Amino acid sequence: MVIIERAVDEQPELDAGALPVGRERQRRGWKTVEELVAQRRAAGWRPGPTPPGVPLAVDIIRADRDSR
């Protein structure tokens, strides 16, 4: 717990809604989903088809909701 508390204390506080920009943003690893997907696609990644028999997330959520 002491290690975690020290790490939290060392983090600079951000203003509400403020995100790091430019190099600071990259250094901290802050990327949007769109930036991450673009980076993966530039490296040659392409989403594959969903294998047969694998339920979609929406189907799992609906089944859980309907079971109540």
Q: Which residue has the higher pLDDT, 18 or 36?
A: 36
The answer to whether position 26 is within a domain reads yes
The answer to whether position 53 is within a domain reads no
The C-alpha angle 24, 28, 32, rounded to 5 degrees, equals 95
Can you read off the two tokens belonging to residue 60? 């799992």
Is the distance from CB of 25 to CB of 19 less than 8 angstroms?
Answer: yes
Q: How many domains does the chain have?
A: 1
CA distance 38 to 34: 6
Residues of the domain holding 28 = 21-46
The answer to whether position 36 is within a domain reads yes
Segment 2-21, tens digit of pLDDT: 888 887 777 666 565 566 66
Full-model pTM: 0.35
The answer to whether position 54 is within a domain reads no
